[in-house]
Amino acid sequence: MSAVDEAIMKQLEAIVPVLKSAKHVVFMTGAGISAESNIPTFRDAQDANALWSKYEPHDLATADAFLKDPLLVTRWYAWRRSLCTKAQPNAGHFAITEMLGMFPRATLITQNVDGLHARAGAKHLLELHGTLLTNRCFVCGKSRPAPDVTDVQTIQEVEKCDECHTERSMMRPNVVWFQESLDDATLAAAYSAAEECDVFFSIGTSSVVYPAADLAFRALQNGKPVVEVNPSRTPLTTSATHFLQGPSGVILKSLVDLLKLSS
Ligand code: OAD
């Protein structure tokens, strides 16, 4: 893994003292943190496998799409789940887990549904967009672990809920689809963290999907420094206090090393 260049190192050295005096640090991640684990992003222009360049979200990631063709949607999410369960957390996930233990308080917020932060040892996280690892009933909401299927073509029917028994009582992925609301309590906790923290990191997100994208701006409105980590510029970049341009695995690992050296 290559080290960061001199310009990034200078910025990291400026961020370290701010972190040293911080009582509460927030890390907010998007698909880019898992790119180095070879999980496709959604809309990264540099990612030849970006999901929304190959698939139409409204055919796969809406309640209407599920009701229209539940087997297709179930198989597509089973395919994504199999990619995630086969993947391994990368240096970026592990660096965040390490930093979670370095401050009096730290909050990890993710838009990802891949489970890699937890597999890298993060104990508490706010999953804004749910998780691929469980399914829930389309009608009553009862959830259970999602089956891990390697060959999705072997899925012949959509699992039914064992609690309620209506025509629509099918097990759907426990993720937030387009046109659906985020969980109120999770979103409220994320906004409070963004408002109250001393430093806010926005890592590997295109910053175009709301309300998640609003969190960094809420931190800025509350006078908090925002550090963006991304190989590409986003709508947040010109407002961010620091823009660390590059892959999160490399940059966050360097940051952890510097924090350890300065302790
Ligand atoms: P996107 O696919 O929109 O953006 C991924 C971002 O990661 C881009 O800005 C890339 O430049 C950046 N990136 C790529 N490689 C990286 C690396 N090695 N290190 C750091 N950053 C890297 O993903 P999100 O912003 O997470 O929602 O997308 C937000 C939401 O849109 C997703 O949660 C999903 C999607 O529709 C739902 O499914 C509800």
Residues 6+ apart with CB under 8 A from 79: 152
The pTM of the full predicted model, rounded to 2 decimals, is 0.97
129 tagged catalytic:
yes
Ligand 1, atom 25, lies closest to the CA of 205
- Ramachandran region of residue 122, left (φ > 0), alpha (ψ -120 to 50) or beta? beta
- For the chain, what is the radius of gyration of the CA atoms? 19
Local confidence pLDDT in tens for the 263 residues of the chain = 458 999 999 999 999 999 999 999 999 999 999 999 999 999 999 999 899 898 888 889 999 999 999 999 999 999 999 999 999 999 999 999 999 999 999 999 999 999 999 999 999 999 999 999 999 999 999 999 999 898 888 999 999 999 999 999 999 999 999 999 999 999 999 999 999 999 999 999 999 999 999 999 999 999 999 999 999 999 999 999 999 999 999 999 999 999 999 97
Please report the pLDDT score of residue 2 as a whole number: 57
- Point out which residues pair with 109 in neighbouring strands: 28, 126
Please report the pLDDT score of residue 263 as a whole number: 76
Please report the pLDDT score of residue 150 as a whole number: 85
**How far does residue 50's CA lie from ligand 1's centre (Å)?**
9
Mutational pocket test of ligand 1: of 29, 41, 62, 237, the residue with most ligand atoms within 8 Å of the beta carbon: 41
Residue 195 burial by CB count (10 A; 0-12/13-18/19+): exposed, middle or buried? middle
Give me the DSSP letters along 189-213: HHHHHHHH-SEEEEES--S-STTTT
From the candidates 117, 129, 165, 242, give the one annotated as an active-site residue.
Answer: 129
Please report the pLDDT score of residue 1 as a whole number: 46
